[in-house]
Copies of this chain bind each other. A is one copy, B any other.
Amino acid sequence: MNFLEERIVKDGIVKPGNVLKVDSFLNHQMDIGLMEQIGKEFKRRFSDKHITKVMTIESSGIGIAAFVAKEFGVPMVFAKKSKSINIEGEMYVAEVDSFTHKNRNQVIVSRKFLGPDDHLLIIDDFLANGCALQGLISIASSAGATIEGLGIVIEKGFQIGGNVIRNLGYHLESLAIVDAMDAETGTITFRPQPDRTAEATYDI
Residues of chain A whose beta carbon lies under 8 Å from any beta carbon of chain B:
23-24, 28-32, 35-36, 58-59, 62-63, 66-67, 69-70, 73-78, 80, 84, 101, 109-110, 112-113
Contact = CB atoms under 8 A, between A and B. Distances in A.
B67 A29 contact: no
A157 B101 CA distance: 37
Contact of A28 (B31, B35, B101, B110): B110
B113 A28 contact: yes
A161 B101 CA distance: 32
B32 A69 contact: yes
Contacts of A35: 66
A125 to B, nearest CB: 12
A23 B101 CA distance: 27
Given A76-B29, A78-B59, A24 B66 contact: no
B28 A80 contact: yes
A112 B24 contact: yes
Contacts of A113: 23-24, 28-29
A42 to B, nearest CB: 14
Contact of A110 (B23, B36, B69, B80): B23
Contacts of A58: 58-59
A76 B30 contact: yes
